[in-house]
Amino acid sequence: MQKGYVAFLTLGCKVNTYETNAMQVLFRNAGYTIVDFDEKADIYIVNTCSVTNMADRKSRQMLHKAKKKNPNAIVVAVGCYVQVAKDLVEQDEAIDVVIGNNKKHEIVEEVEQYIKNHKINTFIVDVFDAPSYEEMRIEDAGKRTRAFIKIQDGCNQFCSYCIIPFARGHVRSREKEDILQEIKELVKKGYKEFVLNGIHLSSYGADQQNKDFVAMEGKPLLDVLEAVSEIEGVERIRLGSLEPRVITDAFVARLCKIKQICPHFHLSLQSGCDATLKRMNRRYTTEEFAKGCEILRQYYSNPAITTDVIVGFPGETEEEFSTTKKFVETIGFAQMHIFKFSVRKGTRAEGMKPQIDEAVKTARSAELLLTEERLEQQYQQWFIGRTEQVLFEELVEIENQTYLLGHNERYIKIAIPYAEGIEEKINKLLPVKIEKKLNRQILLGKIG
């Protein structure tokens, strides 16, 4: 029996995207119909983000937007913003039901309980008391090429600028057999590439008794990767963001034996200055970070090493910023994501002095973005004239021309011109001879 129409909106990270997909499965199996967030629905569910104050604001805006779409609808706030701002959310008249992290697997029962009595509308647990991983599963991941698989939750690092440990709690890891079963089912539906991710992926296998992921040397994660690689039909495996300290000679020597692993590694740097890293509580030095990059390049030919950098962290001097800029140039990243520091309420960085003027942060960001563009162009130039294996994903329009677009192992976008019947190549791995750049982010080639 069709119970009603439910619309979802996801804010934030790939982990949130996975969890939204899993909640959709729960509602669909309970007899509800999933509709687009822009459509009129009986229930609106916003899976919120709280990584920055701006993310909090966006979460509130989308919840209010949902209520305006249909004042009679039930508006449900779920996730990280809810977890860290419980009192504010409960007072918001636009929100009917409040569901924190580690309660998403019960969302259908919780919403239906509210529908019955309109009394109990808050379902939040202390995530630091959560003893185990919250089991959820997806049945599809949208486009039939790449699927993001959540295998870990929580973080024990407590970086001074980050609220996420308070939103997600301590490290919890998913059972290996459950991961494998989900991937096997997705392979049957045509997925070829799998991205394993989590809030702090490198901590996979750690728990309350074993919090030191460094001591584990990444072995539990490697065990999972090796098991995934043995599933027939898995063509590619990617990793979400990795902690630099897990990149050791022993780890990469074992990792590179897994033939499906893509040589594309995201190592969050945040700063290229040791003094700034210490204030951030990042627990590694630039020397250790550089050593990890060196190890990756010893085992992989020109791997794509990408990163995140925060500019304008409290106390960052011109000299410290200059040190960061020199360091990223020395590493030669394939791509960088540049963020201006944003004060996050409830973190240690909120009270740090001096806070950097916004104009200074903007100038530093612009300067580093120029460096990023130059490094990205240098990296892409390496592929021209080479033949790359491309997993084709979709048709796109670029300057009134149609192309078939996909990614190579190093996550470089590669396109071929449209031709009759080209749609049949979607979700296939094919060799492409790279001829030239199509634009800043896309390379152009031809089959063969």
How many residues comprise the chain? 448
In the chain, pLDDT over 70 holds for what percent of residues? 98
Res. 1: pLDDT tops 60: no
Give the DSSP letter of residue 348: G
Mean pLDDT, all residues of the chain: 94
pLDDT of residue 117: 83
pLDDT of residue 120: 67
pLDDT of residue 209: 56
Residues 381-402, mean pLDDT to the nearest whole number = 96
Q: Across-strand partners of 406? A: 392, 414
pLDDT of residue 129: 81
Res. 71: pLDDT tops 80: yes
Q: Which long-range contacts (CB under 8 A, 24 or more apart) does 65-74 make?
A: 66/7, 66/9, 66/37, 66/94, 67/94, 67/95, 69/40, 69/41, 69/44, 70/40, 70/41, 70/42, 70/44, 73/40, 73/41, 73/42, 73/43, 73/44, 74/42, 74/43, 74/44, 74/111, 74/114, 74/115
pLDDT of residue 211: 63
pLDDT of residue 212: 74
pLDDT of residue 215: 81
Residues 153-182, mean pLDDT to the nearest whole number = 95
Indicate the helix (H) or strand (E) that contains 179.
helix 176-188
pLDDT of residue 434: 98
Res. 193: pLDDT tops 70: yes
Strands 387-398, 429-437: parallel, antiparallel or unpaired by DSSP? antiparallel
Residues 21-31, mean pLDDT to the nearest whole number = 95
Lowest mean pLDDT among 273-277, 312-316, 342-346: 342-346
205-244 burial code (b ≥16 CB/10 A, e <16):
bbeeeeeebeebebebbbebbeebbebeebbbbbbbbbbb
pLDDT of residue 237: 98
Q: What is the pTM of this model?
A: 0.93
- Residue 150 structure tokens: 């959540």
Residues 6+ apart with CB under 8 A from 71: none
Residues 107-163: tens digit of each pLDDT: 999 999 999 888 768 888 888 887 789 999 898 877 778 999 999 999 999 999 999
Nearest to 49 by CA among 95, 8, 11: 11
Is residue 147 within 8 A of residue 181, CB to CB? The reply is no
Residues 6+ apart with CB under 8 A from 118: none
pLDDT of residue 163: 94
Res. 208: pLDDT tops 70: no
Residues 257-268: tens digit of each pLDDT: 999 999 999 999
Is residue 312 within 8 A of residue 361, CB to CB? The reply is yes
The position carrying tokens 């929580």 is 154
Q: DSSP labels for 415-432?
A: EEE--TTGGGGTT-EEEE
Residues 6+ apart with CB under 8 A from 232: 187
Q: Which residue has the higher pLDDT, 130 or 10?
A: 10
The position carrying tokens 């950098």 is 309
pLDDT of residue 402: 97
pLDDT of residue 317: 98
Residues 419-435, mean pLDDT to the nearest whole number = 95
Nearest to 410 by CA among 286, 236, 205: 236
Q: Is 306 helix (H, G, I), strand (E, B) or coil?
A: strand
